[in-house]
Structures are given as structure tokens and as C-alpha cells.
Amino acid sequence: MADLHLYLGNKNYSSWSFRPWIAMRAKDVSFTEEVVPFDFESGNPAFRTFSPSMKVPVLRHGDLTVWDSLAIMEYVADLYPERGFWPEDLKARALARAISAEMHSGFTGLRGACPMNFRKPAGHLDVSDDVRADVARILNIWRQCIETSGGPFLFGDFTIADAMYAPVVSRLATYQLTSDPVADQYGNAMRGTEAWQEWEAAALKETWIVPVDEV
């Protein structure tokens, strides 16, 4: 089998890159990685060499190119069905896919107002009603999933659903958007993983500055 190679954007900012990376690390899938920094004003022409969409992340597997975070994770889940990327139970798996799809297509208020930024010192940010509604919906999803599964992750063990919400854990902490205990409980579980700690350490070492993400 050809090696998996994952192209990523800046680890400090690229929430979509973070998702497949933490999923693959958490599930002990071997891959190589390449960080290609982005610039919002002019873009990065280097993306044309590997990304059909001119976005990151992108997974190369032999002669196959897969782009989009969720598509990448679905492909790797098919490669390694024994690793538990999705819950085993049919109903839980359907719910995990539903909340992953909701994260993929929704919560635009939160994503737009509160970019992922590991280097930014934590501090309260005044946000709009739309952002507060997004946060409330996310907390409700987390609460219901953890109460049903028993935790520590949304469906007990770490799944793609957790990877989809990992950047939100960072955002809620950075911008101090909630004091809800479920955010602390779930956030502590996420931050306690070796995969999270490895990504965060690399993000903190980066020196690239993307002004639009420095809220």
C-alpha cells in the first residue's frame, strides 16, 4: 500500500487541516505531512501543485488525491475499518455522521468571528447573537452525546465526530465564550490526548502571521 501524505495549512490557524490530522493521529494511522502556509491576501501558488480546490487539507495516496477534511477522514476510515473512526453501533454512527455534517456546513457565525488561533492569549471576546446561538447549539450537541455515551468523547471513544469539533474546543477556550461545565469536561478530554498536544506544540512554534485571523 502506498504511503499516505497529508498536506496541511498553518497549524496555528488551519482548523480544517487540524481535523483529519488529529483523527489520523488519534487512531494511530501512519502518514507523512507537509505544511504549506497560506496567505489570505494573495493565496499560495504552491497549492496548485497538489490541491484541485486550491485549499487545504489534501491527502495523497499513491495516484489518488482526496481533498476536503471530511472526505479525507471517510477515506481513511474505509482504509482502516478496524480503527473505529466511526462508532460501531448503527444508530450512534448515524448520529455521529449527522453532527459531523452539521459542523461541516454550519456554525458560520462562530467560524467567521472566532478564527482558530492557538497562539492567541485567552481572553473574552464580545460576540454577536448569531455566534452565541452557534455556541449554545454546540454545547447542546456535546451534552446530549456525552450523557448518552458516558464520555469522555462524544461517542465514548474518539471518532471523526470529535475531530470535526476539535477546533471548536480551541475557539471556546481562546475567546472564553462559555463557562458551561460540559465545555470544560469535553475540552479537558480533548486537550489530554497526545495528538492534541503534538499539534498545539507545533502551532505555538510557527511564526507566520495571517492578519485576518488575528481577531
26-75 per-position pLDDT tens digit: 999 999 999 999 865 666 888 999 999 999 999 999 999 999 999 999 99
Task: Give the H or E element holding residue 200.
Answer: helix 194-205
Q: What pLDDT digit, counting tens, does each position of 85-127 carry?
A: 999 999 999 999 999 999 999 999 999 999 999 999 999 999 9
DSSP tag of 132: H
Mean of the per-residue pLDDT values of the chain: 96
Instruction: Tell me the C-alpha distance between 106 and 87, whole Å.
Output: 22
State what percent of residues in the chain have pLDDT above 70. 97
pLDDT of residue 40: 58
Q: State the CB neighbour count (10 A cutoff) for residue 140.
A: 12
Helix (H/G/I), strand (E/B), else coil: 32: strand
For the cut 60, the answer to whether the pLDDT of residue 1 exceeds it is: no
Q: Which of 35, 37, 21 is nearest to 196 (CA)?
A: 21
Q: Which of 160, 161, 149, 162 is nearest to 189 (CA)?
A: 162
pLDDT of residue 41: 64
The predicted model scores a pTM of: 0.96
Instruction: Tell me the C-alpha distance between 123 and 3, whole Å.
Output: 41
pLDDT of residue 29: 98
pLDDT of residue 25: 98
Give the length of the chain.
215
pLDDT of residue 212: 86
Q: Read off the pLDDT of each residue in 172-199 and give the average, rounded to a whole number.
A: 98
